[in-house]
Amino acid sequence: MQLSMTFTRVWRPAAVIITVLAATEILQRTGIGPVYIPAPSSVLEKAISSRAILLENLGPTAGRAGLGFLIAAVATFTAASLAAVFRPLYGVIYNTGAALHSLPIIATAPLLALWIGTGAQLQVTLAAMACQFPILVGTIQGLGSADAQQRELLIVLSASRAQTLRHLLVPSALPYIFAGLKVAAPSAVLGTVTAEWAGSERGIGAMMLYALFAYDTATVWLSVIATCLLSAAGFGFWALVEKLTDRTIDETEIAN
Amino acid sequence: MSSDINVGRVTAVFDGRKGRTIALESVDLIVKAGSFGSIIGPSGCGKSTLLRLIAGIIPPFAGSVTIGGEPPDAIRRERRLGFVFQSATLLPWRNVRQNIQFPLDIAGRGHRSQEEAFCTELIELVGLKGFENALAHELSGGMQQRAAIARALVLKPDVLMLDEPFGALDEITRQRMNIEMLRIWAESHTTALLVTHSIAEAVFMSDTVSVMSPRPGRIISTIQIDLPRPRNLEMMRGREFFNCVNQVRDALFMREMPRPDSDSQVETL
């Protein structure tokens, strides 16, 4: 039952991907395809032959993105809680988050590199900057999502502020927070990769840049795929945590 | 234990964008300890506001509210007040038992064995035995409201506020819930105050029915209901019941409805 449901959900996208890959492969083999699109088989070959290099670069990117994400999450949870408790801070916090989010990372990275250097601190900072806003919006929205009667219930029960936060505001915020975390995880990866372009010895972004200059399209594509997989892993991690914690969502509702 | 509810010359105002609205004007209301009172009136007459004032959720602009001689805030802090809302307002991440225990958790008495035993008793009283582990969305509207009633009773309150608790239910379920509510109330020995816009419901449930008029909200009449208790559906067919219903209706429509004995126009209707 569970297995057949998974199959039904997966087979359509899988069929599309396989068709596209097969078509690309045939086009390349027959010599019709352009040079900048390598045959999927050559990317696979590259992945196997240079897997040591791939892992060497994947590790730092994953670590920086993860650390940046963690810092962003802690900072935004704190900021959103403050905004929920002290109304005057609401606008300041929301606007700061929005302003940081609208900075173009590709231009900010070299500027920031001049101030704090091109080490891991640069990528971690930019990863945090790239992913903070969805978490902030989700948390603020979520903490405000309890309805009027639920709030009145807590007033009738003479609940303290801490009890209201713990028993009502945080549990009702969780679906929103998870939505924010799921959107933010790929952003952290993309932020890191972009930051690595601004000068980094290691990382998927560095690998991508070197391969670009060497016209090594197979490696460029390999780094693109690695970025996608890392982003998807971040998303999948939070989707899994959400599924494990949330028991209010009906299984049958998801299936439909 | 029960306490009487005493509302003296209470005025409530709302400051909105269009200026100040007087929601309640000089309202007097007494519900005797251990009795069942109701407030009836058209939508927007301020009856829910009055209930929230008595529960201390919102403060009065002028006048006083006391429950057993004490202000509502004190009653709430001592956790002697139960409130059933229009919608069940169950917490969706808690199951039925955890929802009913919620007030105990907030009061810090969640895990005493005598409280847990009382919880089990309440679950049986409201007819939810076998559904202890169900989540709110797995229950029907009537069952959700029963859980909400059990939750309001778990702290053994002196006063029980009912804000149109059965308004969202169908007529058939509603009559059943009315009978069950009366049975539960009789066993819990609390003072109950029901807000409703159903004349039959108000008469069937109550010892006194207070009729409100809108803009500004004020109590225009209080009608004594002397039907014997325990009440049953059979009484709803009797002459006495009809008399009471007509009294409430007369009070509600005093201005629009010509009285049969005083107006000859009725003849032509």
Cβ neighbour number for residue B43 with a 10 Å cutoff: 8
Contact B91 A168 (CB under 8 A): yes
Helix (H, G, I), strand (E, B) or coil at B85: coil
Q: How far is B79 from chain A (nearest CA, A)?
A: 7
Q: Which of B156, B172, B206 is the last residue of a domain?
A: B156
pLDDT value of position B3: 83
Q: A82 vs chain B: nearest CA distance in angstroms? A: 23
- A40 and A29, same structural domain? no
Q: How many domains does chain B have?
A: 2
Residue of chain B whose Cα is closest to the Cα of A248: B93
Query: Mean pLDDT, to the nearest integer, of A55-84?
Result: 91
Pick from A152, A156, A245 the residue to mutate for testing the B interface (most B CBs within 10 Å): A156
In this prediction, residue B1 carries a pLDDT of: 63
First to last CA, chain B: 51
Mean pLDDT of A46-60: 86
Residue of A nearest to B106 (CA): A159
pLDDT band at B192 (very low <50, low <70, confident <90, very high): very high
More confident site: B254 or A11: A11
Of all residues in chain A, the one with the smallest CA distance to B103 is A157
Same domain, residue pair A43 and A66: yes
Q: Residues 6 or more apart from B15 whose CB is under 8 A from it?
A: B21
Q: Do A167 and B103 touch (CB under 8 A)?
A: no
Confidence category of residue A247, pLDDT binned at 50, 70, 90: low
- State the residue range of the domain holding B127: 87-156
Chain B's closest residue to A160, CA to CA, is B106
CB A230 within 8 Å of CB A208: no
At B89 the pLDDT is 92
Which pLDDT score, from 0 to 100, does residue B260 have?
A: 56
Q: Contacts of residue B106 in chain A, CB cutoff 8 Å?
A: 154, 157-159, 163, 167
- Tell me the count of A-B CB pairs closer than 8 A: 49
Instruction: Round to whole Å and give the CA distance between A100 and A123.
Output: 15
- Domain identity same for B28 and B72: yes
**Cα dihedral sign, B173-B179-B185-B188:** negative
Residue among A152, A248, A250 whose CB faces B93 most closely: A248
List B38's β-bridge partners, or say none. Answer: B194, B209
**DSSP letter, residue A199:** S
Answer yes or no: do B40 and B4 share one domain: yes
Residue by residue, DSSP assigns B7-41 as: EEEEEEEEEETTEEEEEEEEEEEEE-TT-EEEEE-
**Two structure tokens written together for B152:** 């309001």
Q: For the residues A151-163, what does the mean pLDDT come to? A: 89
State whether residue B79 is helix, strand or coil: coil
Residue of B nearest to A163 (CA): B106
Question: In Å, how far is B85's CA from the nearest CA of chain A?
Answer: 7
For residue B174 the two structure tokens come to 């509603």
Same domain, residue pair B146 and B109: yes
The answer to whether A12 faces chain B, any CB pair under 8 Å, is no
**pLDDT band at residue A256 using 50, 70 and 90 as cut-offs:** very low
Q: How far is CA A200 from the centre of its chain?
A: 21
pLDDT of residue A125: 92
Compute the CA torsion angle B79, B82, B87, B89 (nearest 10 deg): 30
A150 contacts on B by Cβ (under 8 Å): 89, 91
With 60 as the cut, is the pLDDT of residue A252 above it? Answer: no
CATH number at residue B36: 3.40.50.300
pLDDT band at A69 (very low <50, low <70, confident <90, very high): very high
In a 3-state reduction of DSSP, which class is residue B213?
Answer: strand
pLDDT band at A251 (very low <50, low <70, confident <90, very high): very low
Mutate to test the interface with A, among B81, B85, B159, B195 (most CBs of A within 10 A): B85
* B55 min Cα distance to partner chain A (Å): 7
Residue A236 pLDDT > 80: yes
Kindly state whether residues B65 and B164 are assigned to the same domain: yes
What mean pLDDT value characterizes chain A? Answer: 86
Q: Which pLDDT value is given to residue B259?
A: 58
Q: Let me know whether B164 and B104 are in one domain.
A: no
Task: Say yes or no: B170 and B248 in one domain.
Answer: yes
**Do both A83 and A210 map to the same domain?**
yes
B216 neighbors B167 (Cβ within 8 angstroms):
no
Using pLDDT thresholds of 50, 70 and 90, give the confidence band for residue A76.
very high
Mean of pLDDT values over B110-116: 79
Residues A125 and A232 in one domain: yes
Asked whether residue B174 is domain-assigned, the answer is yes
**pLDDT recorded at residue A250:** 43
- Same domain? For B169 and B68 the reply is yes
Please give the average per-residue pLDDT across A78-102, as a whole number: 89
pLDDT at site B257: 62
Position A75 scores a pLDDT of: 95
Contact B79 A154 (CB under 8 A): no
Pairwise CB contact (< 8 Å): B85 & A149: yes
Q: Kindly state whether A253 is in contact with chain B, defined as any CB-CB distance less than 8 angstroms.
A: no
Task: Tell me the chain B residues in contact with residue A167 when contact means C-beta distances shorter than 8 Å.
Answer: 91, 102, 105-106
Tell me the β-bridge partners of B135.
Answer: B95
The C-alpha atoms of residue A241 and residue A44 are separated, in whole angstroms, by 31
One domain, residues A165 and A109? yes
Evaluate if residue A105 carries a pLDDT over 70.
yes
Cβ of residue A252 closer than 8 Å to a chain B Cβ: no
Distance from C-alpha of B185 to C-alpha of B182, rounded to nearest angstrom: 5
Q: For position B267, what pLDDT does the model report?
A: 40
Helix intervals (H) in chain A:
2-29, 40-49, 51-85, 87-102, 105-116, 120-143, 148-156, 161-164, 170-197, 204-213, 217-245, 251-255
Cα separation, B164 vs B168, in Å, equals 8
How confident is the model over A125-148, as a mean pLDDT?
A: 92
Chain B CB within 8 Å of residue A155 CB: yes
Does position A153 have pLDDT exceeding 60, yes or no? Answer: yes
* Environment class of A230 (CB within 10 Å of its CB; exposed 0-12, middle 13-18, buried 19+): buried
Q: How many domains does chain A have?
A: 2
Q: Are residues A26 and A45 in the same domain?
A: no
Same domain, A132 and A169: yes
Query: Which residues from B are below 8 Å from A153, CB to CB?
Result: 83, 85, 89
Residue with tokens 């919608």, as numbered in its chain: B87
**Predicted local confidence at residue A249, as pLDDT:** 47
Query: Between chains, do B57 and A159 touch, taking CB under 8 Å as contact?
Result: no
From A116-130, A221-235, B113-127, B145-159, the region with the lowest mean pLDDT: B113-127
Omega before A134 within 30 of 0, i.e. cis:
no
Cβ-defined contact of A248 to B137 (cutoff 8 Å): yes
ipTM, two decimals: 0.84
**Chain B residues with beta carbon closer than 8 angstroms to that of A149:** 85-87, 89
Contact assignment for B83 to A168 by CB distance below 8 Å:
no
Ranges A247-251, B46-50, B104-108, B181-185: which has the least confidence = A247-251
Task: Say whether pLDDT at B185 is over 60.
Answer: yes
Q: What number is the average pLDDT over the span B202-221?
A: 90
pLDDT in the model for residue A255: 37
Q: Pull the structure tokens for residue A201.
A: 């010895």
Q: Does B1 touch chain A (CB under 8 A)?
A: no
